[in-house]
A and B are shown apart, each in its own frame.
Chain A
């Protein structure tokens, strides 16, 4: 029993994440991270959209990123990953690069708003993971995006 308890303590220490729930209980580990992920998704606009072949941030995108920066600046111990995506109207390899460019544009904006650079990683999926299935402008507009998600908490 003592062994089990020490193992539990070690696990909590390893993941590092702990947060008090609304009922005052302490959450830790993966459960804690999923709570933080939900909090981020609920309290920020976690998706920004782009024009065709562009990584420029619109006023709407900047407002969304301001909400992300505000949340991140009040959760110093949370890291995020920015996922960059493209629509299907480009070539595969170029779109991988364009997705990275979009994710980086988001990252640089958050850094300028005071989020430490090391807390933000990026990944591009090019045109491989569309949010919406469809071959029309409405679908493409929703697929040209960058999504910020909680990756880990210290």
Chain B
């Protein structure tokens, strides 16, 4: 203990002057992750029984908060065994010298209280240990079985306060789970939290299913299913588990996507060698054709304000990206680099369009501005495909398959750094990220 204090005093001599505000600059391409201390929650020791049975929600919540922040790549969690001070009350001001001594720039002081009728309350304060200032103080209450949600909400609050961007941890992902090897692959729709937890299958694998997408209000999923010899776009209600076919098309419909207000679904309809984009109004069930080319137009995506649609078309000879008004009309080509461009997805922030690109036998995930400028590659590989945005427009999830290896989900930061695997029970493809959930 004495040595630690001496070290702390020495460090104080060399420490930088007090800054006005603790903030991570997220616009830079490279930056060192911010060191943050997340000590044990006050109150998590209170019940020996829950410790033994593994139902110590304090420890679990602390672990999930740390894992969320770590996976973002913007934070470095300082190992607990180096902490000097033990916080014993949520109202006790931390001894900042102790936290600066371990080079922590931020500190999460938190408390868990088990309430009556199966509820828990989590209070926390976020400290700038260098400026010795409280940045945030919040309290959340929910049922104990909702403890993961609480942890993600706390992590989102910390992330938002320190980066200036909304968080994305309290979100889910719907995707296609794959079992077996080609040509006998079994595909099932599955849903999970963004960190791979709370995993659940939505279909039984009897029918081939592809390309699921969440409705913006999270109640429904639209996807493609082969029922007999009839591949069609379906709507699945997540609460009632009821499914219905969308539209009365005499042939294959696929590549469904929601409008930002959940009122419409765009899909592609293939007929007589042509594929065009159609809009379906979910209230009136009216169907409207938006593209009229003798070509393949598919993989549509709305701009966040719903006024424009980006899609890929081979009408100019090979697959390129085009933007048109959401009522149809003339489309402007926006991709002009080498290779074929596909699966454009508009960022929820509106500032970028993510895409899959194929060039020289290599697949790429990249981004460009909506006018096609500033193209940048984030990831490449034998087969990387199908980008989907975190709701804050900072992180992209996609599938990656290296030659001869299983297909899996990965996330990468918009800067092109911090590629991380998302752990799933089986092979995984076609991810679609949900909006930010309520607690």
Which residues of A does B touch, CB under 8 Å?
53, 55, 81, 88-94, 96-98, 100-101, 104-105, 108, 121-125, 128-133, 135, 151
Contact = CB atoms under 8 A, between A and B. Distances in A.
A132 B383 CA distance: 18
Given A100-B270, A100-B273, A123-B252, A94 B229 contact: no
B208 A94 contact: no
B184 to A, nearest CB: 9
Contacts of B231: 96, 123-124
B182 interface: yes
A94 B298 contact: yes
20 contacts: A55-B273, A91-B356, A92-B211, A92-B429, A92-B430, A93-B211, A93-B254, A93-B343, A94-B298, A96-B270, A97-B275, A100-B270, A100-B271, A100-B275, A101-B270, A108-B273, A128-B210, A132-B183, A135-B404, A151-B229
The listed residue with most B CB atoms (<10 A of its CB), out of A96, A123, A131, A133, is A96
Contacts, number: 96
Contacts of B273: 55, 100-101, 104-105, 108
A133 B318 CA distance: 27
A144 B255 CA distance: 21
Given A91-B342, A101-B270, A104-B273, 12 more contacts: A53-B340, A88-B383, A96-B252, A96-B268, A100-B252, A100-B270, A100-B271, A100-B273, A100-B275, A101-B273, A129-B182, A130-B183
B386 interface: yes
Interface residues of B, number: 42
B335 to A, nearest CB: 13
The listed residue with most A CB atoms (<10 A of its CB), out of B183, B356, B403, is B183
B356 to A, nearest CB: 5
A93 B223 CA distance: 12
A53 B229 CA distance: 24
A135 B403 contact: yes
A81 B228 CA distance: 12
A93 to B, nearest CB: 4
Contacts of B274: 101
B182 A133 contact: yes
B2 interface: no
Contacts of A133: 181-183
Contact of A129 (B183, B229, B275, B403): B183
A96 B255 contact: yes
A86 B361 CA distance: 16
Contact of B299 (A89, A93, A98, A123): A93
Nearest to B312: A94
A94 to B, nearest CB: 6
